[in-house]
Amino acid sequence: MRQMYCVFVVVLFVSTAINAFLTDKQGLILVPSVAFRDRSSTKSPADWTLYNQGWYYEENPIQSFLMEKSLELVVRQDLDSNRVKMFTAEGKDKTDLCIGGLSRPMCAKTDKDGRLKNAFTMTDQEVQAFRRSDDSRGKLLFETSVANKNIKETGEIFLCDDEGITFISDIDDTIKVTGVTSTTQTLINTFSGNFKAVDGMAEIYQYWQDQYNATFAYLTASPDQLYPFLREFFDRTGFPSGSAHMRHFTWLDVNFITFFMSSSYMAKKTETLKMFLQNTRNRRFVLLGDIFQKDPDIYANIYSQYPDRIAKIFIRKYADDNEGQERLEALFNDIPREKWGTFEKGADLPRNVL
């Protein structure tokens, strides 16, 4: 692992000078986000606080090529250059990104990594203007552009009001086969081929969405550089659309594999769960994750703080994993047995969860 990381560092250093002679392509990724009622609003209906997230970047073709070839030596198979190049692209900092379609200017600057992370307030009337007329669950579509550039993308924000039910799901090894316990398999499943869904998960999520008029939110250790490819996976396999809550990978992180398993992942996931719970009053949540990372620990902690708001917890594990079952029974000792369960594939999950 240490040797692989050293190769990455050398690749980045050597390629910097060469890359200066090439014309780089810039791009913008908008990651679907969420909106909550503004608790400080005295209006009726209340205003909304919307969270915006994205990344403005410039490709680095030399670094991308060298990184791709280095990784292929490690995994001994061809990789998808379009995915690799997102991890060698460089964020464009201090750049204005602006939302169109409003009667007032709405812009925010990217941070030092090129990321857009801001919250803004809209009246309920403004929100309804962006709302899709054919979506009863509250999906907003808006256009964001790079100031003084011909670069723009359509973003999505999902309304999360005080009432209702939201299914909050992990992605890697919960609905998508990743193999995060294996270094080589994680690299292969991340950088090559079509992402593969866990059997039956899209079907049961679709059923729950229709049965409960539910919204979905996806929490993942995966970096936001992968979002365009995750979106293709969602659309191809039929998972319900929803907000995506991801971190951002930089080469200051120790390495790609430990990025998935780091303590910052646990902190970020806990922070996001609390954001949903603290910004809604009566909404209930179903949490889905897997035993291969720290989802059970995170969910047990959240349940201890919000027992009345967590309707169910489901953890993916292999049916014959007796040691994993014992671990869950110890972690969930204070959670009523009828409020949590395990599954290996979608067909193992109950159709009626409330």
Per-10-residue mean pLDDT for the chain, 354 residues long? 51 50 78 94 91 94 88 84 90 94 86 93 89 80 92 95 96 87 76 89 98 95 91 96 91 58 77 96 97 94 98 96 96 97 98 95
Going along 25-106, which residue ranges are E strands?
Answer: 26-30, 33-37, 48-58, 90-91, 96-99
- Identify the DSSP state of 163: S
321 Cβ neighbours under 8 A, 6+ residues apart: 291
Q: What's the rounded Cα separation, in Å, for the pair 105 and 178?
A: 41
pLDDT at 262 (0 to 100): 59
Q: What is the pLDDT of residues 120-169, one digit of tens each?
A: 999 998 898 888 777 777 899 989 999 989 999 999 999 999 999 999 99
pLDDT at 78 (0 to 100): 86
pLDDT at 132 (0 to 100): 74
Q: What is the pTM of this model?
A: 0.87
pLDDT at 101 (0 to 100): 80
pLDDT at 191 (0 to 100): 84
pLDDT at 181 (0 to 100): 63
**Which domains does the chain show, CATH number per domain?**
2-159 (no CATH), 165-348 (3.40.50.1000)
Q: What is the pLDDT of residues 239-287, one digit of tens each?
A: 999 999 998 887 655 555 566 555 677 888 999 999 999 999 999 999 9
